Amino acid sequence: MNKLPGGLWPVMITPFTSNNNLDHDGIRKVTDMYLAAGANGMFANCLSSEMFQLTRAERLELTKTVVKHCKGKVPVAATGSFYSHGSENAEFIKEIYDLGVETVILISSILVEPEESDEILKRRIEEIMEETGNIPLGLYECPVPYKRVISPDMMQWLAQTGRFWYHKDTTCDAGAIKKKLDKIKGSNFQLYNADTPSALESLRDGAMGISPISGNFYPELYGHFLKLFRSGHTEALEHLNAKLTVMDKVTHEFYPWSAKVFLEKRGLDICTNTRIPMSKMAVKDKNILDALMKMFHQISDEYGIKSVI
């Protein structure tokens, strides 16, 4: 493989046990859920996975579990950079890659400080490339510790290295995304949009796929969304896109705990524990989540979408 498949790449949540340890059975259950919904790849050990709340050993253990369960089904990407610079990134990238992932993801906002230039970012990336052989890499505009948006010119440079396959874009701006897509056209460097409101426009402009957090609530709706996009059913697609855009405003609250609560309400047998401190849901917040559930069921009935849980 020298190019990742397009489509739905879930940013995977991490189930924990009641003691807040990794729940391997739960990890396999959510993986099966994504697969049944039509996922074309998995992004494990990402922000939605609570990667910053995991130990080094747990990041490896989580990734290993996902890779083993996805073997022969879909490719897996996983984050490999947790240090600003130095050999520690290269060592961990090699460890992650040896688990069987297709590409290892670098976090743009970890490699450089907010005030540091793109030239410094290039230099740090070059150091990583020099120390990691031919390992395929990706880039993620992770909003933590801060959002480092990649410029179109930087996208072009990354594509020209031949080492980058996956880019998770969090620009949330269809116009800005198009400028990036124009710079990487024809390369193996593919853009996967994290933003639901701009997802459809970016797909029409050439984005390879999507990686929305709302896919952790109702992945089958996004699987159907992509099916409609590929089939050219414009009216049904536009209708579903409008609904997903409105619903997306709810899913960001209390996330990723809210996704676990939502999935448990749907019937997925996982614990809702999270390692990220969360404030208590007020009655209005619970009512909003219940309304989201009703919308999910109504849309599923309207489009004849079968639940994967």
As a three-state string, the secondary structure of 238-287 is: HHHHHHHHHHHHHHCCCCCHHHHHHHHHHCCCCCCCCCCCCCCCCHHHHH
Number of domains present in the structure of the chain: 1
pLDDT band with cut points at 50, 70 and 90 for residue 209: very high
Q: Is residue 169 part of a domain?
A: yes
The answer to whether 24 touches 64, Cβ cutoff 8 Å, is no
The answer to whether 138 touches 208, Cβ cutoff 8 Å, is no
Distance CA 289, CA 250 (A): 7
pLDDT band with cut points at 50, 70 and 90 for residue 2: confident
State mean pLDDT over 277-301: 96
Q: With b meaning 16 or more CB within 10 Å and e meaning fewer, what string describes 26-51?
A: bbbbbbbbbbebbbbbbbbbbbbbbb
pLDDT at 1: 61
Q: Is residue 2 part of a domain?
A: no
**Per-residue model confidence as pLDDT tens digits over 38-78:** 999 999 999 999 999 999 999 999 999 999 999 989 999 99
pLDDT at 148: 97
Residues contacting residue 37 through CB under 8 Å, at least 6 positions apart: 8, 215, 219, 220, 222, 223, 308
Q: Is residue 149 part of a domain?
A: yes
Low-confidence winner among 16-20, 83-87, 120-124, 153-157 (lowest mean pLDDT): 83-87
Distance CA 11, CA 216 (A): 8
Q: Is residue 308 part of a domain?
A: no
Q: Is residue 309 part of a domain?
A: no
The proportion of the chain whose per-residue pLDDT surpasses 90, expressed as a percent, equals 96
Residues contacting residue 140 through CB under 8 Å, at least 6 positions apart: 46, 79, 105, 106, 107, 108, 167, 168
**Per-residue model confidence as pLDDT tens digits over 210-245:** 999 999 999 999 999 999 999 988 999 999 999 999
CATH value at residue 28: 3.20.20.70
Q: Is residue 113 part of a domain?
A: yes
Q: What is the reported pTM?
A: 0.96
pLDDT at 72: 85
With a cut of 80, say whether residue 287 has pLDDT above it: yes
Question: Whole domain around residue 70: which residue ranges?
Answer: 7-303
With a cut of 80, say whether residue 86 has pLDDT above it: no
Q: Is residue 265 part of a domain?
A: yes
Please return the burial class of 173, using the count of CB atoms within 10 Å of its CB with bins 0-12, 13-18 and 19+. Answer: middle
State mean pLDDT over 269-288: 96
Q: Is residue 287 part of a domain?
A: yes
